[in-house]
Structure 1
Amino acid sequence: MNTSTTESLDWNRTDGEELWDTEFIIYGICVPVVVTFGYIGNIVTAIVLWKANMASITNLFLRALVISDMALVTFASLAMTLPNIVTKLVNRDLGIHVIIPHGFKTIDYLTMTSQLCNEYILVFVSIERYIAICHPMKHVYIHSKQKVLASIVGIILFSVCYNLPRITSTEIKLKPCFDEHFSHDCYEIRQSDFGNTFWYRSVYAVWMYTVVYFGIPLLALLFLNILILRKLGKMRARRRTLEACASRSKKENTTVVIVLIVAVFTICQTFGFFNQFQFLMDDEKDNASVQTNITVIINFLYMINSSINFIIYICVGKKFRRTFVTTFCVKKWNCKASRCCGDMEAYSVTIVTLKRTSVV
């Protein structure tokens, strides 16, 4: 999620009704629709990727990516949707001064941790695809299940530890309620002594956040995928004059799927990166209402990004599509099934003949 200088979701805002209406339309209406679609798509993707015929070392990264997508849409929707619905439709004090303050630390930490996991899983799967496509001989020696699992565990541990300062950066303080007759005590989120330090406010929450969440992933993904696309172009040009190898073609299909997933992610992340300039320049107070609306839209793009990978898998991933059709007994497939999905029996014979397990 796109963050402010001190916290990832500016939950203490109490400015005009117009701002809340804008947030309610996106966070309270649009986000639940996207999250519902994302849950269905990610659950279906998980079921297909965990099928025996989809087992492969590369798919370990894709399985981890699906889990991180589901975690991100879960925690982010709790952070964005629940407070807005309660505030708008139930009680303003209950949403702003009870639910938000008491849920902020936990949801903020889990949201930012799952986002960091999601980003660096994409970086590592791009590294794996780069080595597989551009340096296939080295890939044979360094590509193993143990190393992939170690990479995933390392990403999780890094994400968990990196975001620990967020837990101690805020504290809850009593404050007057909007409604004097409200039956509960009202609270607000304040920066703690640690959260007000220069190290946290300027170094950790702005510069380190920009580098770790935007700079490193974007540069790595752009560099790696440009090299991958160049190599794929050369391989396809060569295949026009030489007989294609089936296993090589399937490896390329897997890579194209991952490149498309990375491309969608990069577009959304680039918008967030440009939005972060306001904090780098220390002028976030200028045009606060407009800037908040931009942040709301960017956060919505992040939700879309974590919800639509299923579409890429089903439209581009040949093996994923075949497995999906057989798993869910789809009798009619609206993409000329004979050409798009092929004959399952012939496909199985091909796999046995090649004695290989491809991915996606």
Structure 2
Amino acid sequence: MDDSVDIYEQAALNMSIPDGCDVNRVVYASIKQLISHDIIDPSSVGFQNCEPLCGICYHGSKEWDYIRFNIIVIGIILPIVGVFGIVGNAISAFVYSRPEMRCSTNLYLFSLACSDTGVVLTGIFLFSLETFRPFSLTVARISGQLSAIVYPMGMIAQTCSVYFTVCAGVDCFVQVCLPEKVRRAFSRKETVHFLATCVVIFSVLYNVPHFFEGFVIDCYHQELGGMSKEVCPATLRYNEMYQSIYYKYMYAIFLAVGPLFTLIILNTLIIGFSVFGSSASNMDDTMSLILVVLLFICCNTIALVINIFESYLSETLGSKINYIVDLSNFLVVFNSSFNIIIYIKYSRPFADTLFSYFCNRKPITDNDGPGPPMLITEKPSRSKKCKETLSRLLVASQPEVLI
């Protein structure tokens, strides 16, 4: 082990810097550090005048089959789904912020729509923009300059989505299964604001390490003929202890397995209480809930496997892992864009409120005399309403993958 370390350090020391260049530049020291930790191959380092050539850290696939797949799925379909998701989340946030829709669960759904918008926006930037990076110097510069910042911000939005989902699921469980005194305490405005604030603070603190996983270097792009920027991984990203603790165990506990099993348990309890408790449930609602849970599990499984077994899969599948990563990234945006369809289909109050504001559909009233009309919305039973909410929630979040 010591011999191999010495070899890499010697290779870094022997890196040839062109004559007349300032050997004390930060970029040279960074490259030497990456070589000494066997993160980049010293043979891949070249220079144009005094600038390193692009491609030191970014290695796009040269396989035409994959390039075509990536352009179609990530470059074309993903932005279309993402734009739909941005509009849908904006509409969802608007509807759930209306006075007639305000309750503890819907406040969490409002927050979820906001965080999902962040997931979609950062997903389009990180994934779709990356697709066209080899073809445009402007895109390469923008992507290289901002990716190191946008990625942590996307992870913050993703973590918020996961935990707003969990909060809303817990709220549904409380409203369906627990006594009135507990329901009132949990539905207080102060409680909702406190939990929402905790989610945001936790999401920021949990993702702080991502801000230190990469750095940007200036480089010369030979194929496009101009100066560009490239993101290189910091040595922290390849630290074995960091990978094991942060990307395997903490990721599984806080972003994948933990929230997933929490939602499954809550889902099971709500269905059980609806079936065997004081409130009867509709079989169609139960079936839709089960199908939504299965969709959530499928979407999360791919990202979970990639993040936990990243090194093993990279060695085993080689370049084929790019197809799986693209599919997982697409599911990130799809999952954060699909909610409004579920809201409209399975939530009568949401659909009525939506159409009353956007389609000028007059609300049904029970006031034939003078005075302001009172909005009448068909309200399902508490268990059914919350069960519908949880079924919509379970597809709302998906851990993001970026390799």
TM more than 0.5: yes
1:275 aligns with 2:306: yes
- What does residue range 181-196 of structure 1 map to in structure 2 within 5 Å? 182-184=225-227, 186-196=228-238
Query: What TM-score do you get using the length of structure 2 for normalisation?
Result: 0.70
1:15 aligns to what SS in structure 2?
A: coil
Q: Corresponding residue for 2:353?
A: 323
* RMSD (Å) for aligned C-alpha atoms: 3.5
Aligned partner of 1:144 in structure 2 is: 188
**Of 154, 175, 197, the match for 1:111:** 154
Selected match of 2:143 from 81, 93, 100: 100
Quote the offset at 1:87 in angstroms: 3.1
Task: Provide the residue aligned with 2:60 in structure 1.
Answer: 14
Q: Distance in 2 between matches of 1:210 and 1:60?
A: 27
Q: Distance in 1 between matches of 2:378 and 2:312?
A: 61
Q: Tell me if structure 1 keeps the 8 A contact 2:89–2:117.
A: yes
Bigger relative contact order, structure 1 or 2 (CA pairs below 8 A, ≥6 apart): 1
Alignment match, 2:134: 87
How many matched pairs?
321
Aligned to 1:214: 256
CA offset at residue 64 of structure 1? Answer: 0.3
Asked if residue 37 in structure 1 is aligned to residue 84 in structure 2, the reply is yes
Deviations 1:240-277 (A, max 9, x none): 9xxxxxxxx9xxx9999998876643431133223345
Report SS of the residue matched to 2:222: coil
2:123 paired with 1:76: yes
Deviations 1:273-327, CA, capped at 9 Å, x for gaps: 2334532x73422212221111111111121111111111111111111111211
**Deviation of 1:99 (Å):** 2.9
1:153 to 172, 197, 203: 197
1:194 shift after superposition: 3.0
> Is the Cα–Cα contact under 8 Å of residues 78 and 128 in structure 2 kept in the other structure?
yes
1:58 maps to what in 2?
105
Distance in 1, matches of 2:289 and 2:271, equals: 11
TM-score (normalised: structure 1): 0.78
Gaps of 5+ in 2: 1-38, 40-56, 368-373, 390-403
Cα gap change, 1:318 to 1:260, in 2 (>3 Å): farther
How far the C-alpha of 1:133 sits from its partner, in A, is 0.9
1:345 to 365, 375, 397: 365
Counterpart CA distance in 1 for 2:249 and 2:237 is 15
Contact 1:48 1:54 in 2 (8 A): yes
Aligned: 1:286 with 2:316: yes
2:143 partner amino acid: I
Mapped contact 2:78–2:333 kept (Cα < 8 A): yes
Q: More deviation in 132-141 or 318-327?
A: 132-141
Q: Deviations over 1:30-74 (max 9, x none)?
A: 011101211221122122112111122221101001101111101
1:217-296 maps to which residues of 2 (within 5 A)? 217-235=259-277, 239=280, 264-279=295-310, 282-296=312-326
Q: 1:335 — aligned with what?
A: none
Q: What residue in structure 2 maps to residue 244 of structure 1? A: none
Go from structure 1 to structure 2 and tell me whether the alpha carbon gap of 1:61 and 1:264 turns closer, same or farther (over 3 Å shift). farther
